Structure 1
């Protein structure tokens, strides 16, 4: 076994999930993640945790959804599992990103709605999502398997404390601000000019550990929960949503809500997301990518949304970690991220002051006034 697989497991169990002796841990293993699952199981045994293993597959889900009559109910057994769990570890792996492309959009929406209580119970645990590099993921990223493994481990196995210290400066900027404005002005594409309120919100320094209210490995972003969004955003980083490729999406916001949209490809996928429920037309997240070891699009949102010099906006559910105690943010059965490149002809303003230009923050070398 590649030594980096064990390092990955150690980082996941120790740094990210902070597993302690006696913790009840649910490990959800995707097709292709077997080697990482073995290493994680070994590490959990060494810690003295109690492990339950489940299996997740897009192809299994597809078969179930296509055969169902759409009258879904909450899976009480799965709900009980999460209600009694201390931690949930999702080990992603090789998959066909288009596995559920031929599942009816209405069926997907009904299924998501029925699983809302399950998602809430799962998110009440110390949950962490990661991915094991596989040949199919490498193919989706347009990379050789060897190069993709290096890419994944370079993003995962890093000095997270040092990055956390750097990202804390962005968290301070967002926490002290009332309004964020994103602007891009490039000749070859539609512009972005959008404002969002962040007053009263708390940004999360997402340093790949539940100790930072961070639940992804790799991570490397600072995110908050915006509201009262107004303006236009153009998302030029392609991705796959519900099995369909989406490219060059434009959203127009008024009074916090999407009032118009278009896309070069995948407009039907965006429409299906927006029609999920009322909250799907509002933003749940503004995230600023700061993991510059993730320097290319790979069609895996776990990595792509953390890319340095990018920002992502998520339609749908807001995270409680961004909200004041007792306050509910945007609620939805979906949380779908869309990404825009900020590496050139762009700026981020907080309360009218430029804090990032062309991907470089004002506290970084090379920032241009």
Structure 2
């Protein structure tokens, strides 16, 4: 076995999920993630954890959703109980076909997501972490050779996370103290309030309320959004290729959009889908190109992403629910050229370089 797979598993179990002896763990394994699952199982056994292994794939989900009549049972008790009784969920992605769900109707997906809100809440209340094992289908989706894609994945995952966490803490402090963020770039001039929010220093560890490996972003929960934003980084949303989506905001809500029909489907999911749940700023310089995978692309240094839908509780004051929705869909804009990010009028990032980095120009 490639030693990097073993290292990936160790980072996931020890640094990211902080698994301890006696923890009850759901290990969700995609078809192409077998080798990583073996390495993770060894790590779990070494720590005396109690895994339950599930198998998940786009093909299975497609078959079920296309055959169903769209009248889904709310909160299926057996699935809810699985997550409600788990300490952690480790999701190992790596399917055979990245577009397996492309022909599932958007309305079916939305109805299914809404019916499973309590299941999703139980899942989110665990120490969950998502990662992927490099597969040929993901390499193809990224437009890379398999060999090059493996190098890319491990460059992003096997980092000095403590050092990166220290670097990102400076941006977190600025966001925590700030009242307003403004993003300006080609086709974008949007402002949003962030006062009384707590930014998450997303260090790929549940200790910092960070749940993705790789990570490398700082995010918060904005509100009161005004203006317009264009998302030019190409990506696949619900099996549909999207790029250059433009959203127009007024009083915190999307009032108009320009883009494919799938964006409209997402916006129509529920009231919260028309509001932002997240402002995220990518800082992982091990991710140096878009790969059509949100797990990587939203952390790419020199990008900013805004998410329609659900806000994360970690960003909110005690007792405040924040934006609630059955969806959380990220859209990404490139900040590497002719752009700036301001916090309370101070330019913190210009043309992809942060104020504290070499190459920043006032």
Shorter-chain TM-score tier: over 0.9
Counterpart of 2:131 in structure 1 is 130
* Structure-1-length-normalised TM-score: 0.97
Partner Cα distance (2:310, 2:235) in 1: 19
Question: Is contact 1:221–1:291 with CA below 8 Å preserved after alignment?
Answer: yes
Question: Is contact 1:4–1:153 with CA below 8 Å preserved after alignment?
Answer: yes
Counterpart of 1:84 in structure 2 is 85
**Per-residue deviation at 1:346?**
0.3
Question: Is contact 2:58–2:95 with CA below 8 Å preserved after alignment?
Answer: no
Name structure 2 gaps, 5 residues minimum.
Answer: none
Of the three residues 189, 195, 213, the one matched with 1:193 is 189
For the residue of structure 2 that corresponds to 1:259, the secondary structure is strand
Name the Cα RMSD after superposition.
Answer: 0.7
Matched, 1:164 2:157: no
Matched, 1:356 2:349: yes
The worse-fitting range, judged by mean Cα deviation, of 11-20 and 70-79 is 70-79
- CA deviations 1:292-329 (Å, max 9, x no partner) are 11011111100000000000000000000000111101
Matched, 1:320 2:316: no
Counterpart of 1:188 in structure 2 is none
Matched, 1:113 2:114: yes
Counterpart of 1:10 in structure 2 is 10
Partner Cα distance (1:172, 1:13) in 2: 28
Question: Is contact 1:72–1:111 with CA below 8 Å preserved after alignment?
Answer: yes
Name structure 1 gaps, 5 residues minimum.
Answer: 186-190
For the residue of structure 2 that corresponds to 1:217, the secondary structure is coil
Question: Is contact 2:98–2:137 with CA below 8 Å preserved after alignment?
Answer: no
Q: Which residues of 2 match residues 340-351 of structure 1 at below 5 A?
A: 340-351=333-344
For the residue of structure 1 that corresponds to 2:159, the secondary structure is coil
Counterpart of 1:214 in structure 2 is 210
Counterpart of 1:49 in structure 2 is 49
| Dislocated runs of 4+, deviation >3 Å | none
Matched, 1:252 2:217: no
For the residue of structure 1 that corresponds to 2:305, the secondary structure is strand
Partner Cα distance (1:7, 1:75) in 2: 36
**Per-residue deviation at 1:331?**
0.3
Q: Which residues of 2 match residues 270-309 of structure 1 at below 5 A?
A: 270-309=263-302
Matched, 1:233 2:229: yes
- CA deviations 1:59-79 (Å, max 9, x no partner) are 101100111111101221111
Partner Cα distance (1:234, 1:342) in 2: 11
For the residue of structure 2 that corresponds to 1:296, the secondary structure is coil
- CA deviations 1:156-212 (Å, max 9, x no partner) are 001000000000000011001000000003xxxxx2000000000000000000011
Partner Cα distance (1:163, 1:192) in 2: 28
Counterpart of 2:30 in structure 1 is 30
Question: Is contact 1:97–1:240 with CA below 8 Å preserved after alignment?
Answer: no
* Structure-2-length-normalised TM-score: 0.99
**Per-residue deviation at 1:107?**
1.1
Partner Cα distance (2:252, 2:352) in 1: 26
- CA deviations 1:248-267 (Å, max 9, x no partner) are 1000000000000012xxx1
Partner Cα distance (1:261, 1:97) in 2: 26
Question: Is contact 1:112–1:334 with CA below 8 Å preserved after alignment?
Answer: yes
Q: Aligned pairs, how many?
A: 361
